[in-house]
Amino acid sequence: MSEKKQRSYALEVSLIVAALIGAFLVQELLNSTNDPTVPNIGSDGNVLTGDSDSANDSEVNPNETASKVEKVPTEYFPNLTDLASEPDWKQLDSFQNTISKEDFLRELDEVYTIGGTWKKWIVVAGDHALIKTHAQDLERTYRLNFLTNTDPEPSAKEEALETAKTVETVKYWRPREDIKYSDESLPLQGVRIVLDPGHIGGSYAKMEERQFKYKETAPVQEGNMTLMVAHLLERQLKVLGAEVELTRSTNFPVNPHRVEYYQNYAQAKMTFKKDIVTPDTVERASEKLFYRAGEIRERARIINNEYKPDLVVCIHFNAAGSSQNVLIPNEHLHMILNGAYEKGEISKDDQRFQLVKKILQRNHSEEVALNSSVARALTIQTGLPPYMYEPNSKRAVNVNNDPYLWARNLVANRSFDCPVIYCEPYLANGVDSHARIQVGDYEGLRYVNGMLRPSIFREYVTAVTEGLVNYYKQREISE
Ligand SMILES: [Zn+2]
């Protein structure tokens, strides 16, 4: 190499290095100066793909917390839900004598199961229930004593409830009346809220089957849209006095494990179930375990052990099953409360435990109040009609004759040990919403699809905010 060439080569190298450092610094600067709660999205459709290229297995996971990580089992146990471990029934001890037999039976029959499927697992006697704890050994039971009128002290119930409140691992959330409120201008004062932007999005959107592409338009990725709503909502709720955390703040899994970690478990399960085991089927099953059970379990672990909120808001955009090249004209809205455990679900030891725990924590009444308030606000803001399940559905049960409220047993609303507001508005592949999604986020009003309106994301945020404010502002002001 001539001296001249060498010099220009050296110059080139140093220019490249300088450019790289420059790009890094600009990136860092952007990261620190951009308001992280407002994705800066134009009308070019970038909203839909977002920071998808940031998701790379070799990078540091920005969602990851420093706390301990759940081990992935390698063995499959048919009496437990995927990746679950055996429940600790002793956790329910502090709820002894806190619920009447009538209340317990009513919730079992009307909310948590359909057609009396619980009877195989729970035997209700005079003043107690015997709950089978092990599907493999039906002799093993947990005895739950009911609150009875013959309890010696009239304060027994109060006392038991007080004890239940203090056992943090068992019940960390507070109903509305227990959250202190002293400043009328902050209607969400003191309320601890976790926002859970559904799915992962980004480069995981395709794998998790949450990507929709209509003709030549930009692909719609649910996980990116839910994250945008969560960021806007976080800022709004904090202004109103709430303490807010997000389960994720990027299009990156919260789950520290990756697909390959689940292969042994997937193979064990498929072998047990006598499914066809090929490298392809194992890969697909491992992917599902990674982005669904594994991901939600990790979010639940963080919510239940670290954030311990009063409620979780699960943010989703619905979609209607159809081929990729069709947009659906009729969109709808519904909220999903925990309940309607199917026959196969209540037969899992861990789900049966969660069901009983939900009943004893009085989760349902708080969940109904929260979801109906948000449903009302969403209806007013979006004008969407309710989604109706089949009247004889085995997986969904209508709640309180409110057409917008449905009980269903989802991993997310079951695993979070507090009331959950689970929103399913819009259709990402609906004619109107798809047009609005393509425009992206914007401030103020724009003329979109024949109407003057806010961005679909801000409309969502306004509705959830209003629903929460309308509920929590009814608290009594304390000194
Ligand atoms: Zn979703």
How far apart CA 7 and CA 18 sit, in angstroms, is 16
Going by pLDDT thresholds of 50, 70 and 90, the confidence category of residue 267 is: very high
Q: Write the CATH number of the domain with boundaries 169-472.
A: 3.40.630.40
| CA 409–ligand 1 middle distance (angstroms) | 14
Going by pLDDT thresholds of 50, 70 and 90, the confidence category of residue 30 is: very low
Query: What 8-state DSSP symbol labels residue 319?
Result: -
* HSE (side-chain half, CA atoms, 13 Å) at 284: 8
Helix (H) / strand (E) element for 246: namely strand 243-246
Is residue 312 within 8 Å of residue 223, measured between CB atoms?
no
Residue 208 has pLDDT above 50, yes or no: yes
Structure tokens at 329: 């004209």
Going by pLDDT thresholds of 50, 70 and 90, the confidence category of residue 33 is: very low
| CA 50–ligand 1 middle distance (angstroms) | 17
Residue 6 has pLDDT above 60, yes or no: no
Structure tokens at 363: 């989760």
**pTM of the predicted protein model:** 0.84
| CA 429–ligand 1 middle distance (angstroms) | 13
- Taking the mean position of all CA atoms in its chain, how far away is CA 49? 21
| CA 97–ligand 1 middle distance (angstroms) | 38
Q: Find residue 425's DSSP bridge partners.
A: none
| CA 366–ligand 1 middle distance (angstroms) | 23
pLDDT for the residue 44: 33
Going by pLDDT thresholds of 50, 70 and 90, the confidence category of residue 97 is: very high
pLDDT for the residue 478: 86
pLDDT for the residue 68: 66
Q: Find the radius of gyration of the CA atoms of the chain.
A: 25
| CA 288–ligand 1 middle distance (angstroms) | 14
| CA 222–ligand 1 middle distance (angstroms) | 7
Spans of all domains in the chain: 89-166, 169-472
Tens digit of each residue's pLDDT (9 = 90 or more) over 413-450: 999 999 999 999 999 999 999 999 999 999 999 999 99
Burial of 210 (0-12, 13-18, 19+ CB in 10 A): buried
Going by pLDDT thresholds of 50, 70 and 90, the confidence category of residue 203 is: very high
pLDDT for the residue 170: 72
Query: What 8-state DSSP symbol labels residue 119?
Result: G
| CA 413–ligand 1 middle distance (angstroms) | 13
Tens digit of each residue's pLDDT (9 = 90 or more) over 334-384: 999 999 999 999 999 999 999 999 999 999 999 999 999 999 999 999 999
